[in-house]
Structure 1
């Protein structure tokens, strides 16, 4: 038994070293591309101009894709007013198709020239760059989960992201989320968390209209996705969470609910109701699983649990 335990420790240590080395190599790859793209103009007159710039600097398809993603997340701001820029009416199908094509070109042009976009602008522009660079790619429409109020609602095609295929491997990308976040105003925060995101991680927050575009081995219905908790921490997998139902009853919460999060450790656990002041709570960690019981009477509609002041998971509260 002791030998087996020692073997597990050695194996885990080797895994940690491997992951750290992989992270270092990936970080260096991103830094190399970023350093070059940082000298690019903030605006481009045409998609071809940006594609040519990228092609001149990079020959590797993944680096070319990374360069396009990097330019977008560093130079394009999310602006919801862009939703109202392109509205059109049509009488016949042919006219609709023509106006849709014109709209597509206009969105890409504004993204490059004005540096503002919504998800369409980010995704369509990156798809166009891939087309010009000879990289197989396509835009995906689907639903996303960003806050506890999204739990349990019907499927809604409210977002667009992109999939690229390099060396027969699908890569999931969301340059909109990679650019930052929006809370009444755009908060720029460039991130590579949504570049080549593992499919098992991506599906926690992104559900495609066509499920094959999720690129996961297990089946997950739109309803099941909707009912799950809001998973915020990357370390969490859906099967490592309890309760697994994303909606909890206020009556049950008043009596106390035990929350279990496998793979999560920390020195402090707290929770907030409807985003207000965090309340510290007791917890235990056993077998790499954090457990805490939260008992509170509330009329709030959401609960978010924090570990070391970082949000980990969110639930909707139902009366």
Structure 2
């Protein structure tokens, strides 16, 4: 079997079974893999690593077929492969066509039928601009109304306006149905008449977001439909009574009972195995694999990957379904991209291919059953991804290698264009959730990256699914965490970027995690890079943060202007030790901020927040150079509590400290609630025993005092001049929004 995903692991965890521990019958190691889930906090401590185990296959059972037989193994019967792959049924229907016949066929296909069902003559077609009015007179729109000349565009203007070549509304010949694709007008920039060009302006322009939404709806609906189709089959398999487990035959007879197709039978086999067979960790770690035949696996209820594959094979054969056990290489538990597979490497995994619905399809029972955690314990976790997995997806981490013959084994990739072992080794290992969510590397497609100094990795989220992401960065194989040298952010709805600055000339691992559900706290393993640093980066560390930087989706759901999303860079820079951020809002957003240096905490003294009905302004001061973390916390718009919730984190690089870095005054939450804007003084530290003018603005405050002295009102402005007390004291501006003599503190100043 194989076990699944990893984050940071101890050095001992990476150790596989030694060669001298394998019995003479072993032909491959066995592995199971599935993305780990990271539940908040320490990612590395709560994640799992795919486990590699040994596949037991007897030599006599796995004899290489003769050349005549091997030709039939995949390409015989009714076909071979799905999507990209070819079925023999299709091949048998393809006839040799001469160039002349091909040209004849193309010409015939281009001709439009006449209204009487015969091929039209030249007179039946519109051949010039002079006949445009005739065309207009004869055409009607979808409502049966005649089209005016304005509805048509001359070929001379073709490149100036977006048009649809498939809308005209004319009725098809011999039918009472209007078709959007019959017109007979010549297509611009060609002398060929097209049955689908009329020049009318397109009424719909689909943008990328609309396509994504439609595709997502279809995908979700397909998943729901599929779940409904399998609901009864799954329940039947899960609820199998114990008395049918006495033999493989009796269990098979029970599982296929009521199945309406071979696909449903195969589904029942997959569900039963995934829910009832455990991975034999003692056998894996001890090197003694015992019996992996179907009867032994059923009797003991556990096995390694070869046992999973053999039991599934036995079910299918009894049910009369064509099946194959495939051995090869997998990027499982002990996989390291820095140690590529070679033709001399022993195969380390086994899975199945089954012939249903007129094509071969993959079944991976081992990886569908669960994973091993860092303690080496099997964690049962069903994964539907490995049921009838698309060949283009399985080749990411499964490479068939039968009888040490790469060419012979290529057909079991079930791909129209098989890849080589070298390409398999180079390609990054993507975990199942990454493939399901269509998240792929954009800048670095290979699993090993050689770095001189720094590297910026770009990941493409093609459907914009990701809600949150995080990463783990550690030395390999020691496991020492160095996330303070990584910077993860989402710069658009479709792109995630990770900057890595390895501090030493060593090997590292960078693991990316994510989720698409806002209510889900755990994150799924997406991909892992091996980083080989040949020259250390000469940069200061960042404030340590494993989750992505920038404003979260929650901020834009709670009052920040949604059109500004991704317009505020996650990395801000200051060249003079000061920074002002102006954020647009749809309401007054009560907020507080926290500023921290990478090496120490500054608290609230060097950050000052001012809020209004449609803005939030943040002023910052930096006492030294380096990187800072600005954390923004706000009240939720429809929250049930008065707590402040984390809405965003910005990374700020200070290249030069402020000349005079005096802290800001301390502003209370009431100052934001009353929409107060402090005009003067803006320094939080004031000299003792001196006259100081205090001035602020608020459309809400009705009474205000400074150091217990009444402040004068002039419109929305309040002011007062007072003498500060001695050193060590403080001065507070207070106010209220009623005529009562009860005041709330607004701004506090320290006296030095």
Classify the TM-score, shorter chain: 0.7 to 0.9
The answer to whether the 8 A contact 2:470-2:488 is kept is yes
The answer to whether the 8 A contact 1:262-1:290 is kept is yes
In the aligned structure 1, how far is the partner of 2:492 from the partner of 2:392?
25
Shift in alpha-carbon separation, 1:282–1:167, aligned structure 2, 3 A: closer
Shift in alpha-carbon separation, 1:244–1:268, aligned structure 2, 3 A: closer
* Residue 134 of structure 1 pairs with residue 320 of structure 2: yes
Partner of 1:93: none
Which of the residues 373, 378, 382 maps onto 1:190? 382
Q: Which runs of 5+ in 1 are unaligned?
A: 87-102
Moved more, 50-59 or 64-73: 50-59
Q: Give matches, 1:158-169, under 5 Å.
A: 158-169=348-359
Shift in alpha-carbon separation, 1:213–1:278, aligned structure 2, 3 A: farther
Partner of 1:30: 230
* Residue 311 of structure 1 pairs with residue 525 of structure 2: yes
* Residue 66 of structure 1 pairs with residue 267 of structure 2: yes
Give CA-to-partner distance per residue, 1:115-165, whole Å, 9 cap, x none.
011111110111111011111111111111135842142244100000011
Which of the residues 495, 507, 529 maps onto 1:289? 495
Give CA-to-partner distance per residue, 1:178-199, whole Å, 9 cap, x none.
1101241211112211101111
The answer to whether the 8 A contact 1:304-1:315 is kept is yes
In the aligned structure 2, how far is the partner of 1:291 from the partner of 1:3?
37
Moved more, 154-163 or 43-52: 43-52
In the aligned structure 2, how far is the partner of 1:6 from the partner of 1:56?
47
The answer to whether the 8 A contact 1:148-1:229 is kept is no
The answer to whether the 8 A contact 1:271-1:304 is kept is yes
Partner of 2:410: 211
Structure with greater proportional helix content: 1
**What is the aligned residue count?**
297
In the aligned structure 1, how far is the partner of 2:380 from the partner of 2:447?
29
The answer to whether the 8 A contact 2:449-2:530 is kept is yes
Give CA-to-partner distance per residue, 1:220-268, whole Å, 9 cap, x none.
1111111222212223476x4321221123x52xx22111111264444
Give CA-to-partner distance per residue, 1:56-80, whole Å, 9 cap, x none.
2323211111111111110001104
The answer to whether the 8 A contact 2:263-2:357 is kept is no
* Residue 115 of structure 1 pairs with residue 115 of structure 2: no
* Residue 263 of structure 1 pairs with residue 461 of structure 2: yes
Give CA-to-partner distance per residue, 1:5-31, whole Å, 9 cap, x none.
535444433322211111101122333
Which of the residues 385, 389, 392 maps onto 1:200? 392
Shift of 1:314: 0.6
In the aligned structure 2, how far is the partner of 1:296 from the partner of 1:229?
20
Question: Secondary structure of 1:172's partner?
Answer: strand
RMSD between superposed Cα atoms in Å: 2.7
In the aligned structure 1, how far is the partner of 2:488 from the partner of 2:508?
22
Shift in alpha-carbon separation, 1:214–1:276, aligned structure 2, 3 A: farther
Question: Secondary structure of 1:84's partner?
Answer: coil
Higher radius of gyration, 1 or 2: 2
Q: What is the TM-score with the length of structure 2 in the denominator? A: 0.37
The answer to whether the 8 A contact 2:236-2:255 is kept is no
Partner of 2:73: none
In the aligned structure 1, how far is the partner of 2:386 from the partner of 2:447?
24
Moved more, 72-81 or 51-60: 51-60
Large movers: runs of 4+ above 6 Å? 1-4
Partner of 1:19: 219
Structure with bigger RCO (C-alpha 8 Å, 6+ apart): 1
Q: What is the TM-score with the length of structure 1 in the denominator? A: 0.83
Which of the residues 335, 351, 366 maps onto 1:176? 366
